[in-house]
Amino acid sequence: SSAGGAHCFPDLRVGVFKEIVPMGIDPKIVSYKETGIHLSPQEFHREVEQYLSQASQGQSDTILLDCRNFYESKIGHFQGCLAPDIRKFSYFPSYVDENLELFKDKRVLMYCTGGIRCERGSAYLRSKAVCREVYQLKGGIHKYLEEFPDGFYRGKLFVFDDRYAICSNEDIISACRYCGTLWDQYKLCSSQHCRQLVLTCPSCRKKGLTACCPVCQEKELKVTSRASGQTLKEECECTRRRPRVPIEHVLQRMLDTGK
């Protein structure tokens, strides 16, 4: 359970979909029945503990994989994880395809918010037949934090409602977009054409720095100075500069994070 209320959930929509969280692969092709091995929070905790111990000595044969989006892992993640710089879960299959050598002969420990994305993501990774073993955290970070609020997950947990994040520890691992001070409370970009989330501290917001990037900041000023109802084409410096499918060349970044 976590603090909230009706105001956090203003919309109710009911629909029928092939995928709860779209990965872009037909479930008939990659079935949720072919998932990785489910680990309880207790089992996952022990695995992460062992992984961090081995990684600090440069001996690990395991990858701790965060299969969420970059803005989720930015404000909270497991220590020593590999967090792909992807904007949508539908990019995850391409990320795996471009980085197969990274996963070759590795033990993979996967996790996500509540375990749903891991159901599809682990099945896709297993379908490539390159990993030695694939495991996933049953119930996701939510269940882990219920058992280990001060465990190996640090920072906040991103949620897809108007709360944006919930916390179980006091760590702040992200920074303000503009001044670099520690900050982890998301707001929507103030530019009407943009739906990006931005980390901007109260001090910077008072200065009017409320957009996700200079492009959006400039467009916001143009919109407010023009006639009501006039819109501009969506264009964001943040998205344009981020490669859709990042390629991981080495594991050193993961090992450095673990240390």
Active site residues: 112
- Measured CA to CA, the distance from residue 176 to residue 164 in angstroms comes to 16
Rg (CA), the chain: 19
Residue corresponding to tokens 């994070």: 257
In terms of C-beta density within 10 A (0-12 exposed, 13-18 middle, 19 or more buried), how is residue 96 classed? Answer: buried
Alpha-carbon distances of 237 from 84, 85, 94, 212, 222, rounded to whole Å: 19, 15, 22, 8, 16
What angle (nearest 5°) sits at the alpha carbon of residue 212, between those of residues 209 and 213? Answer: 85
The bridge status of strand 133-137 relative to strand 37-39 is parallel
Burial class (CB in 10 A: 0-12, 13-18, 19+), 27: middle
> How far apart are alpha carbons 142 and 120 in whole angstroms?
18
Q: What is the DSSP letter of 151?
A: S
Distance CA 199, CA 219 (A): 19
Task: Confirm if 11 and 164 have CB atoms less than 8 A apart.
Answer: no
